[in-house]
Structures are given as C-alpha cells and as structure tokens.
Structure 1
Amino acid sequence: MTEHVTDPATEIFVAHRSLLFTVAYEMLGSAADAEDVLQETWLRWVELDLGQVRDPRAYLVRMTTRQSLNRLRTLKRRKESYVGPWLPEPLLTSPDVAEDVELAESVSMALMLVLETLSPTERAVFVLREVFDVGYDEIAAAVDKTPAAVRQIAHRARQHVEARRPREAVSASRTRAALESFRRTIETGDIQGLLDVLAPDVVLMADGGGVKPGGAVRPIVGADRVSRYIIGGTGKAKFTIGYRPTVVNGHPALALLVDGEIDGIMAIRLDDDRITGLYYVRNPHKLTHIDAENRLTLR
C-alpha cells in the first residue's frame, strides 16, 4: 500500500485554512466570495519558494487580505445594483464558535452589518487589528500603508464601529428565549405578544435579492409595521410554515421552513431583552452554507 504524501505547501495551507476563511469572511460577509479568495490565495501560495517565507501564517493572512480587498471593490459595485437590503451570508456554525464569545461577537449579523459601513481599507484594518490582533507592521504590509497611517485608520474605524455596535454582548440563553417568544407569537398570530418582544424602534431587513417574491425592498422600521408585515405574511401563506431553532454565525437563530424545506434564516439583534434588529435572509444564493457546520477560528 502506497503511503499518501502531502507536499509542505499543502500542509501549511490546510493547517491555516479555517483562519484564512474566517479572515476573508469577516472582510467580505460572503462565504462564497471567501471561498473564491481562498482559491486565489492557494494558487499564489503554491507558486512561492517556501524557503523565502519566514512566517507562513503571517504571509498567508497578508495574501488573503490583499485578495479580499480586491474582492471587496467588486462586491461594492455588485451591491449598488442589488435588489433590496443586502445582508451577510449566514453560516451554520459549530458549537465551539458559539462557546468562543469573542469569535461569536465578531461574526454576528449585527456586527457584520456595522462593518459594511466601513471603507474597504478601514474594514481590513479593523478586522485584522481588533479581531485577529495582527500587529500594525503586518497590517501595513497587507494594505500597502505605513504603520503610522494604519494606526490612524484603526483608531477611526474603532470609533466608528463602537458607536454603532450592540451595547453589550447578549448570552445565548437570552437570545434563545427571545427567539422562542418571537416564534410562539408568530405561530399563534398573537400581535400583542409580538409587540411585547419587539423594541418600539425595531428594524427588519429582508434580503431576498430580488429572487424571492413578497420581500421588503426597504428596511421596515417600527414595531407596528414589523408585526403587521410578519403576521400578515404568515397569515396569507398557502404553504405549511414552520420554524426550527439553529445556530448561525455563532448565535441562536431560526430557520424558516416552507413545506419542510429551508426557505430563510432569521437572526436577531437583542438589546435589554427586546429585539431591536431582525435579519431575514431568503436569497437562495446565500443559503448554501447552512447545510453543514462551518469551522471558524481566530487563531
């Protein structure tokens, strides 16, 4: 029996693949584009003379960051013509992601949406510095800036994110309780119960990408309007609708089932035990990574 031999370049890349995917996903908000970035990084990596690479992990992160920045500019043009609100692509995540509070917070739908408001370079700098604790010199090499410029960008991005991110980390148990109340009110058509679990200024974003009919082409703001949209939509359904608890991006979420098949993923933002944000992804092109658990890591 012939022993399978893996070349050093492949071994190194595979060892760091989960980290590189996490870097690319946090920069792009798209698992499909993150996979493309890893493919591009791999093709460049295997062409290198490894004898000249002092720190393979740092080099791979730098390559992934550069490819992600290139892809971010393409995504920006794509989003400008996107039909309706754009939401990050949800990932079915493994239990260890949920147990890592720092990692789960960094890939939450709420924070990923905040990162969308940064420029590509600001996002890259913030993700590398605040999430992965990469040194300023390494970040500078990845984004083609001086270390001094990177420090300024990091400070500006940090202030921007802090002003918009959730006020506190919410435990999984509190999130599950809010989702259970939310699910129960929808299934029973209890509008008052739904109003009780929603914050007065709640915002619902429904991402159907122009593919799914009946979607909201603009964010819906306010508990009254959101409750009417949700209860009205489920009440008119001609199909069997169900809800299944799941874990998406390290946080409890609901999978919406239509005739037993997943039709969408609902994630929430919770403040003071009331739902302030509802993120409803229905675009089928963004539901390709919820069939199997995705391993994310900060290391």
Structure 2
Amino acid sequence: MDEAILIFNNFKSLLYSIAYRICHSKEEAEDILQEVQLKWLDQNIDSIENPKAFLSKLVVNRSINYLNSAQAQRVDYYGPWIPQPEIERTEDPLVGKEKITYALLVVLEQLTPQERVVFLMKEVFDYSHKELSELLEITPENSRKLLSRAKKAIQATDISVEPSSNLENQKFIDLFNRSIEKGDLTPLLDFLTADAKMSIDGGKKRRAPLRTLIKPTRIFAFLKGVLPHGFFGDERFVTEINEQPCLLIKEKQQLISILFLGLNPEKTKVQHIFIINNPDKLKNIS
C-alpha cells in the first residue's frame, strides 16, 4: 500500500493538470483524481509495467466521460458557461511543457472530447501518437488526424490564444480598468472589433445576461448600465491567471468577478470579453 501511494503521489500533479486542462473545472479534476487514486490502490501494481500510462489512461477516460455528460448538463446551464480559472502552482517537470492561456481554454471548448484530449496530450504533455493510440484505443493515424483537426479548428478561431499576446492583452486590460475608474466607458468602443462579443458566467448566482452579447454597441450599453450599480466592485487589481493578464474585481475585499480578454488574431483589438461572476468558480482564487 505504501509503495502504491508513493507511486501515485509521484504522478499526482501531472494527473491533476491533465484532468483540469481537459475538464476546465477544478472540482471535477479533484473528483477524478480521487476516483483514480481509489482505483489505483485496488490494483496489483506489480503487474503494471508503466504506472504513468496506466494512471493517465484512467484520468483521460474519466475526463472524457465528464465532457460527454457535461455537454448535456450545460444545455440547462443558466447563461454562458465559461471555463473555471485556476492558479496552477506546481513546478513539477512532468506537467506540460507548454503553458495554456485562458483564451486557449475557451477555444478548446469548441473541440470534440477526443480532439481536445489529443491536442492537450500531444502539444502540452508531449505524449507520442503511439502513446495516444494506446491511451484512447485508436490507431496512431487516427491520433494524427484528430490532432490535425484540432489545430485547424484552433487556428480558424477569431481569438488569439498564444502567450505572445500577453503584452497587448495587458495594454487592453489596463485601458479597461482605467475606463472603469474614470467612469467613462466610451474608449472601450475604440478597441472592440466590429463583431466583438461578451460572455458573462453568473451561473444564476450573480447578475449576468442570459446570452452572449454581440456587437460593441450592445456590450457598451450593458456595461454603461451596470457601471453605477457596483458591477465592477470597489477595488480592481491587474494580475495573471492561466498564463494570461486579467482583472480581479473585488467588493469589500471579496472577489466578485474575474475579467479576461480575447484579442483578435492580429492582436490589435478585443474580440471577446469573458467575465466570470459565478461565485462557485471564484472560490479557489484569492
């Protein structure tokens, strides 16, 4: 038992990171980790040649099951569903060689579960197509096709997902914050694309439009309407979460919102504003 626990703990950070990056939910990733640990401790580990591959497969299978069920559950979700932000503090060398921005998490939501898994495991966790074929019980060729489809879908998006966007992203976050502080949101219109969107995830627990707002004029009208009513709290701090600049919004020292921006591919304007208001998705961010 002690050896089994030691082996599991050696891979715990990696397994959590895989589950979170697939599911985009801290609570679900933790639940999956707990299930996998119980399953692992029930094995005859002497018969398992590659514990990393065995544990990764358990995590991936449960994560895919979650995605399949989550798609049905989100039909009934109140308003837009946005990935839960997470501060990953681990320096474990096993955890992804590539960093994932919050914008990429959002874009990954558009992929099928298998496309998402193949992209993440290949591009982030450096698994080979042979390993992926064993992990997903598909052929290496199918794995390559899934990766190709995932990359094309990501490249076709109207949002820049690279960490290289952070300098420009920081500039727009600062401008957004200054506009709020001055009580004049008019400058926002100048840095939104013609078909800009704004999604606010309140989960029926905080004020939020039921649908994603489209076009700068609609976004501006909503923000102007809620600005005098404490929507942007009494304190704001620019920081970095999920490898991307963001705005923490607090009221009486309590976090009430996180705002991320998705830039257009040219990184010249804001294509999408993401605001997480749902307190269930903020409780792990200080």
Superposed pair shares fold, TM > 0.5: yes
Match of 1:3 in 2: none
State the alpha-carbon separation in 2 of the partners of residues 286 and 15 from structure 1. Answer: 28
Match of 1:294 in 2: none
Report the Cα offset of residue 240 of structure 1: 5.2
Deviations 1:137-195 (A, max 9, x none): 22122222222322222222222222125275435443222211110101212233222
State the alpha-carbon separation in 1 of the partners of residues 61 and 12 from structure 2. Answer: 16
State the alpha-carbon separation in 2 of the partners of residues 238 and 79 from structure 1. Answer: 25
Q: What residue ranges of structure 1 are gaps of 5+ in the alignment?
A: 1-5, 292-299
Q: Is the 8 A contact 1:191 1:231 kept in 2?
A: yes
Deviations 1:6-45 (A, max 9, x none): 8222222222212111111111111111111111111111
Counting aligned pairs with the same residue, the percent is 30
Whether 1:187 and 2:181 are equivalent positions in the alignment is: yes
Q: Select which of 20, 23, 26 maps to 1:25.
A: 20
Match of 2:154 in 1: 161
Q: Is the 8 A contact 2:104 2:161 kept in 1?
A: no
SS in 1 for 2:235: strand
Q: Cα distance 1:177–1:31, how it changes in 2: closer, same or farther (>3 A)?
A: same
State the alpha-carbon separation in 2 of the partners of residues 256 and 240 from structure 1. Answer: 6
State the alpha-carbon separation in 2 of the partners of residues 189 and 93 from structure 1. Answer: 34
Q: Cα distance 1:55–1:111, how it changes in 2: closer, same or farther (>3 A)?
A: same
Q: Select which of 58, 76, 79 maps to 1:81.
A: 76
Whether 1:117 and 2:120 are equivalent positions in the alignment is: no
Match of 1:14 in 2: 9
State the alpha-carbon separation in 2 of the partners of residues 198 and 144 from structure 1. Answer: 44
State the alpha-carbon separation in 2 of the partners of residues 148 and 79 from structure 1. Answer: 32
Q: Is the 8 A contact 2:191 2:269 kept in 1?
A: yes
Report the Cα offset of residue 94 of structure 1: 4.2
Quote the RMSD (CA, aligned, Å). Answer: 2.5
Structure 1 stretch displaced more, 34-43 or 245-254: 245-254
Q: Cα distance 1:243–1:167, how it changes in 2: closer, same or farther (>3 A)?
A: closer
Q: Is the 8 A contact 2:53 2:135 kept in 1?
A: no
Report the Cα offset of residue 290 of structure 1: 0.8
Read off the aligned partner of 2:85 and give its amino acid letter: P
Read off the aligned partner of 1:147 and give its amino acid letter: P
State the alpha-carbon separation in 2 of the partners of residues 219 and 8 from structure 1. Answer: 50
Match of 1:252 in 2: 245
SS in 1 for 2:98: helix
Report the Cα offset of residue 238 of structure 1: 8.7
Q: Select which of 241, 246, 260 maps to 1:267.
A: 260
Aligned residues: 281
SS in 1 for 2:283: coil
Q: Cα distance 1:221–1:148, how it changes in 2: closer, same or farther (>3 A)?
A: same
State the alpha-carbon separation in 2 of the partners of residues 38 and 150 from structure 1. Answer: 25
State the alpha-carbon separation in 2 of the partners of residues 239 and 279 from structure 1. Answer: 14
SS in 1 for 2:188: helix
SS in 1 for 2:164: coil
Read off the aligned partner of 1:130 and give its amino acid letter: E
Report the Cα offset of residue 287 of structure 1: 1.2
